[in-house]
Amino acid sequence: MILESFHRRYGNERAVRVFRAPGRVNLIGEHTDYNLGFVLPIALDLACFVASADSSDGRLRIYSEEKKQSREWPAEEVARLKRSGDWSDYVVGVAQELIRAGYRLEPKSLLIRSTVPEGSGLSSSASLEVSSALALLTGRQIPPLELAKLCQRAEVDFVGLPCGIMDQYVSIFAREHAALKIDCRSLENQTVELPDGIEIMAVNSMVKHALGQSAYKERTEQCAEAVAAIRRLDSKVSSLRDVTVPLLEAASETMPKLIARRARHVVTENERVGLFVNACARADLDRMGQLLVESHLSLQHDYEVSCPELDFLVDTAVGIGGVLGARMTGGGFGGCTVNLLREGTGERFGNAIVSAYEGRFGVVPQVFECYPSRGAGEEKNFESIPSSAALRG
Ligand code: GAF
């Protein structure tokens, strides 16, 4: 039980409360959030749990069960800490943003337990940020949108990844049994019911390419370059969200070919989100699957954020009976694919994809069944929190 681990580490501190924030799998709308476009993620039952109690000696202590590492500081020094380059940055970054937003940082002891595999593209970072923020606040109210923006700022400004808002937003606003269409400009959302007769599975390539961070930043810069070129034709354009396919075609001659391809991914991907939502409403499973594959091809060839392992997983998946479509999900350069299946075919799919991938790369991929789950909050049912032994598998 998480409480026993907490007491073993910190002694019998005051009342312990636990906060949970889920990871996510993005169904479609990849690399569109920082272009102020549309995304369609679901939250997972994989989540980060942070147990929290007041500490009586003025210090902030944090412990990661996964890393088996602890950090501690006098609470009043946290505002002045610099980035350290490890997992603790997510917690410190969030603490600093809370302070900046006017929330006093109370001395606390925190114990972090996560079931979201790190570097898997399932948003382990955002789930750590959001659950840590809730634990640091321990019941003090914060408007959910402010929480999402504050956690995103922690990642951009303190951790140093210029990410969009999708991961933090869905971790907070997600609904059970449904996907969430997020408009990353207005920051409004719409619940999207998924049709009956499907299963969603994520497959982890177990690859974490070091390239990921620098290439992500490079993509954001390339998108800005495309916007600058398109604005010369249409001054109303302020992000790729405003660009249609005909406008991009008209502007393509005015920018390097590579930049035009990057923009084409974003513009067509935004369209695909709308088409996917419509296909969901019609329960047109084949069209939904087809759109996932189109998204992958665009990420592979135009945006170039895939890798051989992800391409293999997608190519293999679409040849397995019952698979409607598949694509890489998340930032790319490793991590997971998301697979849309006909109901009842999940087990066969799991066996087939594991044996094919192991045969090709000598690595056993993790396979997750994805059930759209609720957004972050206090977890009162301690029994439902996986034990750390279960995490070690
Ligand atoms: C990462 C980022 F954190 C998100 O904001 C998003 O850009 C995603 O990559 C790609 O869609 O998860």
Catalytic center residues: 167
Q: What is the pTM of this model?
A: 0.97
pLDDT digits (tens, 9 = 90+) for 281-329: 999 999 999 999 999 999 999 999 999 999 999 999 999 999 999 999 9
Q: Is 350 in the pocket of ligand 1 (CB under 6 A)?
A: no
- What is the number of other CB atoms lying within 10 angstroms of the CB of residue 381? 8
Which of 155, 163, 217, 303 to mutate to test ligand 1, by most ligand atoms within 8 A of the CB atom? 163
Q: Which atom of ligand 1 is nearest to the CA of 125?
A: 3
Give CA–CA dist 384/381, Å, rounded: 6
What kind and span of H or E run contains 294?
helix 285-297
185 pLDDT higher than 80: yes
Half-sphere exposure of 391 (CA within 13 A, CB side): 21
What is the 3 state secondary structure string of 186-236? CCCEEEEECCCCEEEEEEEEEEECCCHHHHHHHHHHHHHHHHHHHHCCCCC
Q: Which of 24, 28, 31, 295 to mutate to test the pocket of ligand 1 (most atoms within 8 A of CB)?
A: 31
Please tell me if the CB atom of residue 119 comes closer than 6 angstroms to any atom of ligand 1: no
User: Which atom of ligand 1 is nearest the CA belonging to 26?
Assistant: 11
**Cα–Cα dist 371/138, whole Å:** 27
Summarised one tens digit per residue, pLDDT across range 342-379 is 999 999 999 999 999 999 999 999 999 999 999 999 99
Query: What 3-state class would DSSP assign to 113?
Result: strand
Gap from CA of 119 to ligand 1 centroid (Å): 12
**Which pLDDT does position 65 carry in this prediction?**
96
Q: How many C-beta neighbours within 10 Å does residue 178 have?
A: 16
pLDDT at residue 389 in the model: 59
In whole angstroms, what separates CA 374 from the centre of its chain?
A: 14
